[in-house]
């Protein structure tokens, strides 16, 4: 406990934790002040995500390579999952889908691009393990195909709901299966190809196991509570800020959910440990595409008012496709310089600008 | 002749030849039992395709490198061609197109993926000649562009039939020309880049020339006769089995037509001769796309009730495009492990599942 | 001046300069003879473009590496820019867009493919700097995304003009910014990666600075005057020749505008200096996509009757996308043989044939 307080004192990011009680107070006092609640919930999620990420890594580091890798790979996007479950229970499927698509795009373009740029500003040319980048790009490509095909083979209007739902459940099972086999491949049968740089995770000292487990449980509950306020307030706040719903789901939610991982990825790039950055960015993107999204589809049968399908807005499918192509083409060489980062970020800026300007009714 | 009988006795696959007379008997006795005729014709085509393949290779091995390579490259997909001609004469253009698209997708995803998986389960990492894989992927890409462009530049409804037919004939001639130049490149001017592993073909002893030529002629006629029954019965059998026409054309016909080549490709992969597997799988896919399909378009002016064009169902074009991208991206490194095979097979499973669930009216 | 006359006497291409006065005479005498004026203006633009190109290079060679590279990169497509400005002032936005799309496609497919083919017919295998090819392919990919996204996220009919115009201006600024950063990268921070083969430019002796500057000024004015006749006559001439407007904009204008660069690229390939050819072809394509096109959008607010947007005909977007993918996939290895050129040219031929046969009303 003391260790936790110590860590909070030394990590400015965690000072934002003060906004967690502030949010709950504000919600009790002025439940209609959506814009205030939105801002407070964003500020509260960021430090909670950082704690969650540290707790997960601490548990992982105590449990041996394979189990630890498995934990990291399933709990690594717990924040995104908890936010999405909150939106799922509220029946806000458009927000869930926008945040899934946005998280894939944000991780594979913004997080990766900013890592390349930040690393490239300090080092002339950087190298990283391209076998690992290729595996993640391959998994992302598979997920893109899964999102693309149902839209491509059938016109939206004429497709019966039964067909779309049946395909979605089938795809969800296939993707989870591919994700599991990918873990077997990278953690078990061919782990020597993937380098060992993913351990040590940025020099942070791991917490003792009891503290890590308690933090994991408590913070997950807090994130769930904060997410509920966030989901309730996001639409009205967006209108107040003049942002389109597409922009909010795609950009704002995705950036908030991935804040903690970004801190790690950027710090890795600045220390010339680009393997770490590429692993976090692409690993996170493929985890959301092949694990979080399918799990949400299956959970929607239990938690949601109606089943959720994998039929995405065509614009989102195109953006995911382009993000995957960008990652596949630009990480092919295993070398990076600052301009590679600029190319990634420019593609992301094109998406963000288009979504920001998009008339509300379209998306 | 004795040699042929000897070979049949030692090859369990060829015992299926008993279904050839069984089929003709069944057709004479119960011409309305479509499901029975369908099953028998599938069982009869598989061993005939294997014989045809062996006969072609035997002729090729007697005629020197260049002519042999040429023969292999033009007669290698004789089974698919004969089945398609049977469907063409019956005016079943939807089936012809579905089986072309399906053969490209099945060869470049299922045959290649299963080879990588089977090889990868026995060998940790396998290498293959990536120059050859790149040439085939480049040819496939060209064919994909040819199928994509007419659909892309013109909306289906508003395009005049004259335009689509003129473009189709032009594209057919261009593709055959590209295919011929590709043969000149790989068999003549730059053959040293393509390795010599394609000869020896899996340790089978070639037949003497007269036996090979007679087998080639007789079996081609038998395949043609069986194909006619197959084409007549396939639609009604599909309905009986609860399969959509798209699924039958894309998956069932393609798997039946390529059964013999798959046996060779898989056996090559298990013997760590992945060059052979990649050559058969991608070579077969590009041959169908750049040679069989254009020849069918030109033949339709002679054999079919009306000219056939190259305007494919958009879903099929997307699947061919994705299959080509998958092959291009994943064969780029010239190395393979079991998980690469899983990625190919997962893309194929996504296609197969979507087509299986597709409501009949859409395709 | 004597030097200029000397050069004209030794360069057969420059003898075509005689068509410049011929064109002005014809325009004064028979202003309604559109077909004649069209042919004469084409014949007059080609030698002027060659002079312009030589003058630019001469100025560049006098000004040191960085400024020279900058000059080459901004004035290298001056001919295309002047032609497009003439069309812009006439309000012919369809022609402007078709010629932009056509220039990108022609440079990255025809110019590059013909270079590979011509080089490959003389040399067995050629190598070139693939870092440079990758940078250009990356820039082209970015431009393709910029052209693709506005069309993808919004249906053409329902998109408000305000949205399309706002996005277009934003994209134009982003692209120019990316282009500028790309110059900083290749000319300043990482110039060692890009080889030095771009200097020396094909053995031509540079002109003295005053002659070069005067030529630059005078020839630019002449090109502008000729372009105006060209733009006025092109549509009616096209009808007279039985060509569709899409074919004229995409193929004819693009080939005319790039004639001078093609001469350099082809001559580089024949001298086994493929770096030069790849640099000219892909550099020119990315310059048009990231500099000329955005500048035209911004200029349309000053010069045109109404603002021009970046919303292209879907068929053109698909062609640019395919051209970019072709360039990215086929230049990935840094090695070339004649068949690689054939693949590029075949893709180009598919485009040209489709556009030639396209019914006029579609595009």
Confidence bin at C319 (pLDDT 50/70/90)? very high
Query: Residues near A40 by Cβ (< 8 Å), separated by ≥ 6?
Result: A19, A22, A23, A26, A229
CB pair distance less than 8 Å for A171 and B337: no
Task: Give the minimum alpha-carbon distance from C163 to chain A in angstroms, rounded to a whole number.
Answer: 6
Interface probe with C: pick from A109, A339, A359, A361, most Cβ of C within 10 Å:
A339
pLDDT at A158: 57
Partners of C113 on chain B (C-beta within 8 Å) are none
pLDDT at A196: 47
Smallest CA–CA distance from C315 into chain B, residue: B153
Is the pLDDT score of C299 beyond 80? yes
Partners of B140 on chain C (C-beta within 8 Å) are none
DSSP for B270-285, please give it. HTT-HHHHHHHHHHHH
Partners of A314 on chain C (C-beta within 8 Å) are 152
Interface probe with A: pick from B353, B361, B363, most Cβ of A within 10 Å:
B353
Q: Under an 8 Å CB criterion, which residues of B touch A?
A: 124-125, 314-315, 318-319, 322, 325-326, 329-330, 332-333, 337-340, 342-343, 346-347, 349-351, 353-355, 357-359, 362-363
Partners of A362 on chain C (C-beta within 8 Å) are 153-155, 158-159
Interface probe with C: pick from A354, A360, A362, most Cβ of C within 10 Å:
A354
Picking from A113-117, C48-52, C116-120, which range would have the lowest pLDDT averaged per residue? C48-52
Look up residue B207 and give its DSSP letter.
Answer: P
Task: Give the minimum alpha-carbon distance from A349 to chain B in angstroms, rounded to a whole number.
Answer: 26
CB pair distance less than 8 Å for B353 and A134: no
Partners of A339 on chain C (C-beta within 8 Å) are 135, 181-182, 185, 190
Beta strands in A101-218 (DSSP E): 126-127
Query: Residues near C209 by Cβ (< 8 Å), separated by ≥ 6?
Result: C58, C59, C62
Task: Find chains touching chain C: ≥3 CB pairs under 8 Å.
Answer: A, B
Report yes or no: A363 and A246 within 8 Å, Cβ to Cβ.
Answer: yes
Range with top average pLDDT, A129-133, C89-93, C119-123, C271-275: C119-123
Picking from A146-155, C113-122, C189-198, which range would have the lowest pLDDT averaged per residue? C189-198
Partners of C154 on chain A (C-beta within 8 Å) are 315, 358, 362
Partners of C321 on chain B (C-beta within 8 Å) are none
Query: Residues near A47 by Cβ (< 8 Å), separated by ≥ 6?
Result: A13, A14, A15, A16, A17, A19, A20
CB-nearest partner of A152 from B318, B330, B332: B318
pLDDT at B159: 59
Partners of A332 on chain C (C-beta within 8 Å) are 332
Q: CA–CA separation, A168 vs A180, rounded Å?
A: 18
CB pair distance less than 8 Å for B358 and A154: yes
Q: CA–CA separation, C293 vs A317, rounded Å?
A: 27
Mark the ranges of chain B whose per-residue pLDDT is less than 70: 1, 64-66, 69, 73, 154-159, 195-204, 360-363
Is the pLDDT score of C345 beyond 90? yes
Mean pLDDT for all residues in chain C: 84
pLDDT at C347: 96
CB pair distance less than 8 Å for A138 and B358: no
Going from the C-alpha of B91 to that of each of B292, B304, C257, the distances in angstroms are: 17, 6, 47
pLDDT at B201: 47
pLDDT at A71: 74
Look up residue A207 and give its DSSP letter.
Answer: P
Q: Which two tokens stand for residue C220?
A: 């630019």
Mark the ranges of chain A whose per-residue pLDDT is less than 70: 64-66, 69, 73, 154-159, 195-204, 360-363
CB pair distance less than 8 Å for C153 and A326: no
Contacts A–C by Cβ distance under 8 A: 85
pLDDT at B253: 84
CB pair distance less than 8 Å for C171 and A350: yes
Confidence bin at C171 (pLDDT 50/70/90)? very high
CB pair distance less than 8 Å for B353 and A170: yes
Contacts B–C by Cβ distance under 8 A: 84
CB-nearest partner of A350 from C139, C145, C190: C145
Q: CA–CA separation, C258 vs C110, rounded Å?
A: 11
Is the pLDDT score of C305 beyond 60? yes
pLDDT in tens, C97-109: 888 999 999 999 9
pLDDT at C104: 93
**Mean pLDDT throughout C187-214?**
71
pLDDT at A305: 83
Q: Under an 8 Å CB criterion, which residues of C touch A?
A: 134-135, 137-139, 141-142, 145-146, 148-150, 152-155, 158-160, 163, 166-167, 170-171, 174, 177-178, 181-182, 185, 189-190, 193, 328, 332
Choose between A159 and C223: higher pLDDT: C223
Look up residue C178 and give its DSSP letter.
Answer: H
Choose between A99 and C74: higher pLDDT: A99
Going from the C-alpha of B237 to that of each of B99, B105, C332, C346, the distances in angstroms are: 16, 23, 47, 41
CB pair distance less than 8 Å for A353 and C148: no
Report chain C's C-alpha Rg in angstroms. 20
Partners of C351 on chain B (C-beta within 8 Å) are 149
Report yes or no: B140 and B285 within 8 Å, Cβ to Cβ.
Answer: yes
pLDDT in tens, B208-239: 888 888 888 898 889 888 888 888 888 788 88
Give the ipTM. Answer: 0.88
Q: CA–CA separation, A298 vs B143, rounded Å?
A: 39
CB-nearest partner of C149 from A333, A343, A351: A351
Task: Find chains touching chain B: ≥3 CB pairs under 8 Å.
Answer: A, C
CB-nearest partner of A347 from C135, C142, C155: C142
Q: CA–CA separation, A63 vs A195, rounded Å?
A: 19
**Mean pLDDT throughout C322-339?**
89
Q: What percentage of chain C reaches a pLDDT higher than 90? A: 26
**Mean pLDDT throughout C138-166?**
80
State the Cα angle at B266 between B203 and B110, rounded to 5°: 150
Q: Which two tokens stand for residue A123?
A: 């080092």
DSSP for A293-346, please give it. HHHHHHHHHHHSSS---S---HHHHHHHHHHHHHHHHHTTTSEE-HHHHHHHHH
Task: Give the minimum alpha-carbon distance from A351 to chain C in angstroms, rounded to a whole number.
Answer: 7
CB pair distance less than 8 Å for A145 and B347: yes
Is the pLDDT score of C178 beyond 60? yes
Smallest CA–CA distance from C161 into chain A, residue: A359
Partners of A315 on chain C (C-beta within 8 Å) are 152-154
CB-nearest partner of B339 from A137, A166, A181: A181
CB-nearest partner of B153 from C329, C349, C358: C358
Only one residue has tokens 């051209």, namely C323
CB-nearest partner of A174 from B326, B349, B357: B349
């Amino acid at each position: 406990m003391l260790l936790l307080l110590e860590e909070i004192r030394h990590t400015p990011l965690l000072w934002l934790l003060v906004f967690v009680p502030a949010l709950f107070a504000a919600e009790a006092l002025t439940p209609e002040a959506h814009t205030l609640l939105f801002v407070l919930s964003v500020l509260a999620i960021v430090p909670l995500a950082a704690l969650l990420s540290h707790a997960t890594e601490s548990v992982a580091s105590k449990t041996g390579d394979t189990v630890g890798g498995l934990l990291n790979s399933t709990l690594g996007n717990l924040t995104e999952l908890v936010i999405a479950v909150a939106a799922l229970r509220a029946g806000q499927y458009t927000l869930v889908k926008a945040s899934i698509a946005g998280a894939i795009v944000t991780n594979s373009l913004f997080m990766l691009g900013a890592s390349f740029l930040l690393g490239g500003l300090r080092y002339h040319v950087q190298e990283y393990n391209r076998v690992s980048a290729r595996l993640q790009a391959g998994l992302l490509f598979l997920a893109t195909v899964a999102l693309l095909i149902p839209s491509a083979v059938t016109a939206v209007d004429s497709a019966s709901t039964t067909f779309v739902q049946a395909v979605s459940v089938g795809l969800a099972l296939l993707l989870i299966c591919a994700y599991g086999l990918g873990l077997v491949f990278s953690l078990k049968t061919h782990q020597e190809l993937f380098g060992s740089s993913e351990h040590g995770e940025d020099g942070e000292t791991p917490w003792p196991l009891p503290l890590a487990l308690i933090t994991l449980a408590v913070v997950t509950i807090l994130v769930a509570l904060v997410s509920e306020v966030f989901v309730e307030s996001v639409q009205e706040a967006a209108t107040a800020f003049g942002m389109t719903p597409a922009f909010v789901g795609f950009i704002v939610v995705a950036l908030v959910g991935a804040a903690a991982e970004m801190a790690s990825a950027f710090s890795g790039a600045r220390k010339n440990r680009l393997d770490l950055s590429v692993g976090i960015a692409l690993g996170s993107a493929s985890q959301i595409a092949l694990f979080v999204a399918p799990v949400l589809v299956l959970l929607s049968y239990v938690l949601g008012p109606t089943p959720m399908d994998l039929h995405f807005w065509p614009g989102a499918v195109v953006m995911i496709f382009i993000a995957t192509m960008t990652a596949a083409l630009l990480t092919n060489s295993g070398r990076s310089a600052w301009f590679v980062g600029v190319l990634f970020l420019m593609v992301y800026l094109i998406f963000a600008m288009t979504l920001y300007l998009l008339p509300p009714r379209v998306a």
